[in-house]
Amino acid sequence: MIELGIPGYLATITLILFLGMAFTRALLMRKEGIKVIHFGNIDKKDFLIPPFVFFYFYTVFAAAFDWSSVSKQVFFQSELISWIGVFLCLAGLCLMAWSLVSFGRSFRIGIDIDKPGKLITTGVFAFSRNPIYVAFWISMLGEFFIFPNWILLLYLVAAAWLFHRQVLREEEFLNKHFGSEYVEYTKKVRRYLQKIL
């Protein structure tokens, strides 16, 4: 069995940094009088998501620190793929940081119907309309490469569906709120990733 050591620890640090960046930004904006967290305001079923997020965190930490887990079965063992996973985790973190900087005072967790901020189309938003979701998914893919078990694979698929569901909700709101400005933006920038060439 391959000793995951550093890649495994980096996977856990990625999770901590993702949450840390988002909540630090939320706290800083709160001090400026901007309410950032609007999770579950539109659909109360969203409150079913946090227990699954905590289980995801536990699964990654359990794999990294050899805690008891639902399953220790893995699909493959490759040190090279584990390090590719680390690279993806770091890429996701960098994209998250760039997203928060680009968002500026318009950053929100959930849909802010009352004071949504201005439409951001510059910085990373010139390449993706939803860079934070892309960043999370890239890091989750990296964590799967580090810990290739069926639970993280299931989470990877479920996250893609949940992110897309939320993106569609946000697009509907942005279309109503910003109108033609948002429509023009959608014609220039793709939903997830812009073509590089």
- Where along the chain do its domains lie? 5-188
Look at residue 3 and give its three-state secondary structure: coil
DSSP 57-74: HHHHHHHHHT---S----
Which residues pair with residue 37 across a beta bridge?
109
CA–CA gap between residue 124 and residue 133 (Å, rounded):
12
Query: With contact defined as beta carbons under 8 Å apart, do 102 and 122 qualify?
Result: yes
* pTM greater than 0.85 (yes/no): yes
Q: CA Rg, the chain, in Å?
A: 18
Query: With contact defined as beta carbons under 8 Å apart, do 133 and 170 qualify?
Result: no
DSSP 134-154: HHHHHHHHHHHHHS--HHHHH
pLDDT of residue 4: 64
pLDDT of residue 1: 39
Residue with tokens 């793929």: 81
Is 5-188 a CATH 1.20.120.1630 domain?
A: yes
Residue by residue, pLDDT tens for the chain (197 residues) are: 344 689 999 999 999 999 999 999 999 999 999 999 887 777 777 778 888 999 999 999 999 998 998 878 888 889 999 999 999 999 999 999 999 999 999 999 888 888 888 999 999 999 999 999 999 999 999 999 999 999 999 999 999 999 999 999 999 999 999 999 999 999 999 999 876 54
